[in-house]
């Protein structure tokens, strides 16, 4: 079964605009579909809501930035499309099961973290990696173009 071209287009749009505010009404207007339909078809095809996808992508993209100890959590939050440090920390914890500060400790060879926290981080990293591999595979499964070939007798 091929991927839905509308969902591929939405994924590409989201990835190109990931660090700015994206409203469902904007998607509906831009793609000329009802927003409820867009949300339903996206969830069915990707197994995540559009908001979940955006949050997963932003958090995933921000993970490497936390390695730099000189960057504040606030500057990372704002750089990766979050409106505040508090919201970034809330979403980060929801996605990664730990705070950004604990993840920073994990990046620095797990100093000061117990085994359960390390296991949770590794589990969530594995989930995100798998999720985005599936999304990329989905985007590559494009349906063939409907090139209609005419028989030579009709030319």
Q: What is the pLDDT of residues 112-149, one digit of tens each?
A: 788 899 899 999 999 999 999 999 999 999 877 765 55
At 112 the pLDDT is: 73
Segment 81-109, tens digit of pLDDT: 999 999 999 999 999 999 999 999 888 87
DSSP string, 35-92: HHHHHHHHHHHHSS-HHHHHHHHHHHHHTGGGG-TTS-HHHHHHHTT-S-HHHHHHHH
Between the two ends of the chain, the Cα-to-Cα distance in Å is 33
Q: Is residue 150 in some structural domain?
A: no
At 33 the pLDDT is: 97
Segment 65-86, tens digit of pLDDT: 998 888 999 999 999 999 999 9
* pTM (predicted TM-score): 0.88
**CATH classification at residue 126:** 1.10.10.60
Q: Is residue 19 in some structural domain?
A: yes
Q: Is residue 144 in some structural domain?
A: no
Containing structural domain, residue 60: 5-138
Q: Is residue 15 in some structural domain?
A: yes
Q: Is residue 12 in some structural domain?
A: yes
For the cut 70, the answer to whether the pLDDT of residue 155 exceeds it is no
Q: Is residue 32 in some structural domain?
A: yes
Q: Is 102 helix (H, G, I), strand (E, B) or coil?
A: helix
Query: Residue 65 contacts by C-beta under 8 Å, 6 or more apart in sequence?
Result: 71, 76, 79, 80
At 151 the pLDDT is: 55
Q: Is residue 155 in some structural domain?
A: no
Polymer length in residues for the chain: 155
Q: Is residue 24 in some structural domain?
A: yes
Structural domain count of the chain: 1
């Amino acid at each position: 079964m091929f991927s839905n071209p509308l969902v591929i287009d939405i994924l590409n749009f989201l990835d190109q605009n990931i660090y700015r505010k994206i409203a469902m009404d904007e998607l509906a207007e831009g793609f000329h579909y009802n927003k409820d339909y867009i949300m339903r078809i996206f969830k069915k095809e990707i197994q995540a809501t559009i908001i979940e996808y955006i949050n997963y992508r932003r958090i995933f993209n921000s993970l490497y930035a936390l390695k730099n100890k000189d960057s504040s959590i606030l500057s990372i939050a704002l750089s990766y499309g979050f409106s505040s440090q508090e919201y970034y920390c809330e979403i980060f914890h929801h996605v990664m099961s730990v705070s950004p500060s604990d993840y920073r400790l994990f990046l620095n060879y797990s100093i000061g973290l117990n085994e359960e926290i390390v296991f949770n981080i590794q589990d969530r990293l594995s989930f995100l990696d798998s999720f985005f591999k599936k999304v990329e595979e989905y985007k590559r499964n494009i349906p063939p173009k409907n090139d209609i070939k005419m028989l030579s007798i009709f030319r």
